[in-house]
C-alpha cells in the first residue's frame, strides 16, 4: 500500500522560509520521480517541482530561484525548501508520485504566507 505523508506547512510572513517533507512508504522510493504540487483556493492544482531518481530537478517558473526540491533515499523522504515566500505561494501543498498510469497523492499540508 502506497502512502505519502507530508509535513512542515504553517503560517509564515512574506519573505520567510518553510521546509516541507514527504515520507513515502510502499514504493521503491529510490527509483521513483517525486513531485510537489500546490492548489490555491479557486485555482487548479499546479506542478511546483520535480526530482527524478538521478536527482535531476524541474521547477515552475513562479518558484525558480526560491524553492529547492531534494531527496534522501535512505529515509524515503522528499523535501521542498521554500525561501523568500510570497503571499501568492499560499496553497495546500501535495506530494505526488506515479507508478505507470496510477497516481498517488499525500493528504496535503497548508502553507499560508501573510503580507
Nearest to 61 by CA among 49, 76, 73: 49
Whether 38 and 45 have beta carbons less than 8 Å apart is answered as yes
pLDDT of residue 98: 95
pLDDT at 9: 97
Q: How far apart are CA 106 and CA 5, in angstroms?
A: 5
pLDDT score, position 62: 98
Low-confidence residues in the chain, pLDDT < 50: none
Contact by Cβ (8 Å): 47, 63 = no
Amino acid at each position: 500500500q502506497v502512502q505519502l505523508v507530508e509535513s512542515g506547512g504553517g503560517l509564515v510572513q512574506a519573505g520567510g522560509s518553510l521546509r516541507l517533507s514527504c515520507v513515502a512508504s510502499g514504493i521503491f522510493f529510490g527509483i521513483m520521480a517525486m513531485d510537489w504540487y500546490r492548489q490555491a483556493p479557486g485555482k487548479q492544482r499546479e506542478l511546483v517541482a520535480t526530482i527524478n531518481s538521478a536527482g535531476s530537478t524541474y521547477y515552475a517558473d513562479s518558484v525558480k530561484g526560491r524553492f529547492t526540491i531534494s531527496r534522501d533515499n535512505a529515509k524515503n523522504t522528499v523535501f521542498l525548501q521554500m525561501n523568500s515566500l510570497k503571499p501568492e505561494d499560499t496553497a495546500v501543498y501535495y506530494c505526488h508520485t506515479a507508478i505507470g498510469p496510477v497516481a498517488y497523492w499525500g493528504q496535503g499540508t497548508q502553507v499560508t504566507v501573510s503580507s
